[in-house]
Amino acid sequence: MRALRILLIVVVILGGLFVIADRVAVNFAESEAADRLRGAENLPSTPDVSINGFPFLTQAAGGELDDVEIGIDDYEASTGKGTEKIRIDHLRANMRGVDFASDFSSATAATATGTATIGYDELMKATKSEPTDIAPGITAKVVGLSDGGDGKIKVSLQATVFGVELPQPVDVLSSVTVKDDNVEVVADGLPTIGGRQLAESRIRAITDFQQTIDELPGGIELDKVEAAKDGVEITVKGSNVELAG
């Protein structure tokens, strides 16, 4: 009986030491992976990297991690217009089946899913924010984007009719979708301005617009988009995503 108690104590101690060693190892791996990712994507700050699953050491020995979560704030994506960028406030990605080199110099995820948020102030960059002729004597410009409810964007137009600015903005509810690498905003219906129903092509030149969002980390791509309180919430996805290297 005494020998059994001693054996149990030894097992408990060894188990505790293994857990400690495992946690130290995973913390080191997360730090190294974050540094590599920051360098590979030229990020302004170090991202959050969380390696899930226990034990880590057995996953590391096999050269593949089951589940890795990455968080990047203030990521600047390409707009497809030279050096012009668009800021993504929060990019969160969940990577599955991550193969990596022993020195963490490269890592590739079999699949990736995640979310990102783009503020309405950033999305305004794609709109007609300068007065544009939409009919003889009538100009309009986009002065604001906001949550219209039910996944819609409210596009607010400021119109001027024969030199007189209308006292209130004209609001248009619009649908937002993903098309290729673009966030596409299209008015559900056409407004009247100054009591006039304008030609569809002329008014849509103001209300409808696209914003290209390209060169996301590791080659992940836009999947779905929906309007929310503080901006558009985007779902991203990818396969064979390069995390570093």
Q: Is the pLDDT of residue 5 over 90?
A: no
Domain region containing 164 = 123-212
Token digits of residue 24: 């130290």
Q: Band of the pLDDT at 103, cuts 50, 70, 90?
A: low
Instruction: Please compute Rg for the chain using Cα positions.
Output: 25
Same domain, 86 and 179: no
Same domain, 205 and 141: yes
Same domain, 105 and 151: no
Taking the model in full, what pTM does it have? 0.80
Q: What mean pLDDT do residues 19-43 have?
A: 78
Q: Is the pLDDT of residue 245 over 80?
A: no
Q: Band of the pLDDT at 19, cuts 50, 70, 90?
A: low
Which 3 state secondary structure label does DSSP give 9? helix
Q: Band of the pLDDT at 14, cuts 50, 70, 90?
A: very low
Enumerate residues 6+ apart whose C-beta is below 8 A from 3. Answer: none
Q: Is the pLDDT of residue 174 over 90?
A: yes
Same domain, 112 and 207: no
Q: Band of the pLDDT at 1, cuts 50, 70, 90?
A: low
Q: Band of the pLDDT at 13, cuts 50, 70, 90?
A: low
Does residue 227 lie within any of the structural domains?
Answer: no
Q: Are the C-beta atoms of 153 and 146 separated by less than 8 Å?
A: yes
Chain segment 191-234, per-residue pLDDT in tens: 877 777 777 888 888 899 999 988 888 888 899 999 999 899 99
Does residue 193 lie within any of the structural domains?
Answer: yes
Does residue 224 lie within any of the structural domains?
Answer: no
Same domain, 12 and 109: yes
Q: What mean pLDDT do residues 92-103 have?
A: 83
Q: What mean pLDDT do residues 99-113 have?
A: 80
Chain segment 151-168, per-residue pLDDT in tens: 999 999 999 888 888 898
How much of the chain exceeds pLDDT 90, in percent?
A: 30
Q: What mean pLDDT do residues 121-129 have?
A: 89
Could you list the beta-strand ranges (E) of the chain: 48-52, 64-78, 85-100, 107-119, 132-135, 138-149, 152-161, 164-165, 170-179, 182-187, 192-193, 196-197, 209-212, 221-227, 231-244
Average pLDDT of the chain is 83
* 175 vs 109, more confident: 175
d(CA 212, CA 223) in angstroms, rounded, equals 13
